[in-house]
Amino acid sequence: MSNPCSHLRKILKTSAAAPTSTLLQSAKPTSIPISVKELVEESNLEELAKKFKQVASNSSKFRNRHNIYDFTISRLALAKRYNLIEDILESHKNFDDITREGFAIRLISLYARAGMFDHARKVFDEMPELKCPRTVKSFNAVLKAGVEAKRFEDVFRLFREGPATLSISCDVLTYNIVIHAFCETGSVDEGLMMVDEMMEKGVNPSVVTFNTLLDGFYREKGFEGGEIIWSMMDELNVVRNTRSYNLKMQGMVNEGELRNAVALFEVLESEGLKPDVSTFNVLMKGCCDQGNVEEAKKWYNALLESGAMPNSITFSTIVPKFCDRGDFDLAFELCKKMFKRQFVVDEALLQLVVNGLVKASLTEEAEELVKLGKSNSYVQYDLVLPSDNAEN
């Protein structure tokens, strides 16, 4: 399940920028006076769902706020409150918006975000009776929902049977989704065969097509297997992007070739491409795998200097190494960044940092981390100080 919480600060900032008396506007005179900030900060999930439905039913402007929908549905899914998700999203079928394919696609995608593929498929199947047209766009949305839910057999069946039944022509995104499904099941050769089928039908593969194959082949067939796809990109004049280089660097790191990965990083920059957080995560992992935490710290600092923001993978990669070396102050700062950006992280790892801070006589920092864990509105962590921890 993808994480929408990188947008949380943007949501709150937008709300804060308006006067405090400004509330969500309603298309009806009986508007419900609830702000976006109030929804985000609501701790009672039943109340959250109730208020959400009220605002949605009274404000078409609110229904166009994608970020708050992503945040709320993911939060409910994390708490496994699928009944509340269903209650919210099914009510949206009563709005006139449902006759627009884009709106139906949003419902499909939100169900997919929650891992509720059967509900996503039901929306797609009901579109004709809801007087909503179905095109390749909604077809792709339900295929993607199947991949996210790991319902791969459903994806393959729908891909083979759907286009003829629904009079839909597959586009490059359709094939990219199906190739992703093949790669996720380890059937990378079948994924590669899709490229031939695409070209036979006049659909040109994109850089995303080959990045998906790169990921699968480096993972399933090792570095040499991935290089087959890398060479194909040259043959077909596919312009690589940052993700292409990240995947090759990951392949090198997996082979223990950190030096070559660093050299490829320099090539990436020489090509005028901008490294992203995944680029730095790969290099930090390579350094940590070789026990060179000092070098990993340098790449972490380079990440911050680049303007990219750490993510949950950054956290899980380097925080354990910082703790092993006793760098608890740095681990603490990274933990605070994770809370600020509302990433879901391993509670045991957070507890490791708390314990380490206390041992390093950084009690105030440990107390702050425990407080952040318990007060976090998105997901609460049951962190305790070592003196309260039964294991200590």
Instruction: For 254-263, write each residue's pLDDT tens digit.
Output: 999 999 999 9
CA-based end-to-end distance of the chain? 34
* Nearest C-alpha neighbor of 104 from the set 80, 77, 122, 78: 122
Any domain includes 29: yes
Q: Does residue 210 have a pLDDT over 90?
A: yes
- What are the CB-based long-range contacts (under 8 Å, 24+) for 27-35? 27/58, 27/59, 27/60, 27/61, 28/58, 30/58, 31/58, 31/59, 32/58, 32/59
Q: Does residue 230 have a pLDDT over 50?
A: yes
Any domain includes 200: no
Pairwise CA distance, residues 219 & 186, whole Å: 9
Any domain includes 5: yes
Residue 388 binned pLDDT confidence (cut-offs 50, 70, 90): low
> What is the tens place of the pLDDT at every residue in 320-353?
888 888 888 888 888 888 888 777 778 888 999 9
Q: Which domain holds residue 33?
A: 1-94
Any domain includes 15: yes
Q: Does residue 11 have a pLDDT over 60?
A: no
What average pLDDT score do residues 255-273 get? 96
Any domain includes 3: yes
The residue from 44, 75, 94 where one domain ends is 94
> What is the tens place of the pLDDT at every residue in 138-168?
999 999 999 999 999 999 999 999 999 999 9
Q: How far is residue 23 CA from its own chain's centroid?
A: 30
Any domain includes 113: no
What average pLDDT score do residues 182-210 get? 96
Dihedral sign for Cα 192, 194, 198, 200, please. positive
Note the pLDDT of residue 27: 39
Phi-psi region of 337 (alpha: psi -120 to 50; beta: other; left: phi over 0): alpha
> What is the tens place of the pLDDT at every residue in 46-85?
999 999 999 999 888 889 889 889 989 999 999 999 999 9
Any domain includes 77: yes
The residue from 60, 76, 94 where one domain ends is 94
Note the pLDDT of residue 15: 43
Pairwise CA distance, residues 287 & 181, whole Å: 31
The residue from 94, 112, 145 where one domain ends is 94
Q: What is the helix, strand, coil percentage profile of the chain, to 5?
A: 70, 0, 30
Average pLDDT, the chain: 88
pLDDT > 70 fraction of the chain, expressed in percent and rounded: 90
Of the listed ranges 196-210, 245-259, 326-340, 356-370, the least confidently predicted one is: 326-340
Q: How many domains is the chain built from?
A: 2
Which amino acid is present at 321? K
What average pLDDT score do residues 238-259 get? 96
Any domain includes 328: yes
